[in-house]
Amino acid sequence: MFLSKLMPLDDAQKIINTFTESTDVEEISLEEAYQRVNAQEIISTLNSPPFDRSAMDGYALLAEDSFGHSETNPFQLKVMDRIGAGQKSDLKLKPGEAIKISTGAPIPSGANAVVMEEFTHEEGDIIHVETSLTPGENVSPAGEDFNKGDTVLEKGKLLGPAELAIIASAGFDHVSVYKKPRIAVLITGSELVMPKKDLEGAEIINSNHFTIKSMVESCMAVPEMFHSIDDAQLVEERFNELLKDYDTLITTGGTAISKGDVVVDVAQKLGEVHVHGVSLRPGKPFGFAQVQGKPVFMLSGFPVAAMVQFDVFAREALLKMQGFKRNPLLVHKKAARKIASTLGRTDYIRARMEGEMVHPLKIKGSGIIRSMVESDSYIIIPENLEGIEEGDQCQILPYHSLKA
Q: Which of 95, 149, 195, 382 binds a second copy (CB under 8 A)?
A: 195
User: From the CB of 37, what's the least distance to a second copy, in Å?
Assistant: 14
Q: Which residues, 6 or more positions from 365, have their beta carbon under 8 angstroms from its beta carbon?
A: 304, 371
User: What residue ranges in 70-221 does DSSP mark as E strands?
Assistant: 75-83, 97-101, 113-116, 120-123, 126-129, 139-140, 151-153, 174-178, 182-188, 192-193, 204-205
The separation between the first and the last C-alpha atoms of the chain, rounded to the nearest angstrom, is 37
Question: Does the protein bind a second copy through residue 256 (CB under 8 A)?
Answer: yes
Question: Of 282, 303, 323, 360, which one interacts with a second copy (CB under 8 A)?
Answer: 303
Amino acid at position 317, single letter: A
| Residue 134 or 214 having the CB closest to a second copy | 214
Contacting a second copy (CB under 8 A), which of 196, 340, 362, 384?
196
The minimum distance between CB 292 and a second copy, in angstroms, equals 27
By the rule CB under 8 A, 368 interacts with a second copy: yes
Establish if 50 lies at the interface with a second copy (CB under 8 A): yes
Non-local (6+) Cβ contacts of 388 within 8 A are: 335, 338, 339, 341, 379, 381, 394
Q: Which is nearer to a second copy, 147 or 292 (CB)?
A: 147
- The three-class DSSP label of residue 295 is strand
Q: At 85, which helix (H) or strand (E)?
A: none
Residue numbers 373-402 binding a second copy by CB under 8 A? 373, 398-401
Rule CB under 8 A: is residue 323 a binding residue for a second copy? no
Binding residues for a second copy, total number by CB under 8 A: 99
Task: Report the chain's C-alpha Rg in angstroms.
Answer: 31
Quick check: 13 and 313 in contact, CB under 8 A?
yes
Q: How far apart are alpha carbons 366 and 303 in whole angstroms?
A: 7
Residue 244: Cβ within 10 Å count? 10
Given 21, 26, 45, 134, the residue binding a second copy (CB under 8 A): 45
346 versus 371: smaller Cβ distance to a second copy: 371
Q: Which residues pair with 333 in a beta bridge?
A: 394
Q: Which is nearer to a second copy, 24 or 31 (CB)?
A: 31
The site map against a second copy for 25-44 (x = CB under 8 A) is: -----xx--xx---------
CB of 259 to a second copy, least distance (A): 6
Q: How far is the CB of 165 from a second copy (least distance, A)?
A: 4
Cα distance between residue 177 and residue 11, in whole Å: 30
Minimum distance from residue 290 beta carbon to a second copy (Å): 26
Which of residues 20, 49, 312, 360 is near a second copy by CB under 8 A? 49
Largest CA distance in the chain: 95
171: contact with a second copy by CB under 8 A: yes
